Amino acid sequence: MLTDLKIRSLKPTGKAYKQYGQRGLYLEVAKSGSKLWRLRYQFAGKSKLISLGQYPVVGVAEARRKRDGYLEQIRDGIDPAAKRRAQKRSAANSTERALETVAREWHESLYRHEVVRKQAERTLRRLELYVSPKLGLTPIEEIGPADILPVLRAIEQTGRIDTAHRTRTALSAVFRYAIATGRAKRDQALGAGRGTIRRIYI
């Protein structure tokens, strides 16, 4: 049985080796002496491995909890390693489609090459200051006029009418870029413009 006392006593030997616990859990000791928790399990007739983290960041009790959670998934017909890969792909895809990611990509690949440096910096600053705190992490295809409108109105209420107009214009360009790259279907900033106080956009 693996205990903290036993694990602390494990020393590097010049080659990697394993110390086994229970129910597929074991500790792999690298040549450098670092210690990594792993779980070996069977799924669909195949032997598989999944990492549970590095000791001592992941202690004995936590490693056992993780093991038990993964074994429960297996009993429910879920492959833990496959589920983890799917979650990572989903997280990466979500980040790639976030408004802030698309906006920075648009700014870097297109916009900053089309305008003078100061204008490019001001536009990026507006997006960072007014848009990103509220909508930056939201997938761009999930954003609608009803989400953008409060952002523009909040700017307008500070008296910065021109800033609100320019922010909407920049957002519209970001949406058009998202459409061109397959991450949005409509320019939702254009729709938001129709709902703002008319004097901004006439």
Query: Which pTM value belongs to this model?
Result: 0.58
Asked if residues 55 and 83 have their Cβ atoms less than 8 Å apart, the reply is no
Q: What is the structure's pLDDT at 88?
A: 83
Which domains can be identified in the chain, with CATH numbers? 4-92 (3.30.160.390), 98-200 (1.10.150.130)
Q: Enter the tokens of residue 28.
A: 């792999």
pLDDT in tens, 5-58: 999 999 998 899 999 999 999 999 999 899 999 999 999 899 999 999 999 999
Asked if residues 148 and 195 have their Cβ atoms less than 8 Å apart, the reply is no
Q: What is the structure's pLDDT at 164?
A: 94
Q: What is the structure's pLDDT at 202?
A: 34
Q: What is the SS3 assignment for 51?
A: strand
The low-confidence residues of the chain, meaning pLDDT below 70, are 193-202
Kindly give, in sequence order, each residue whose CB lies less than 8 Å from that of residue 23, ignoring residues fewer than 6 positions away: 67, 71
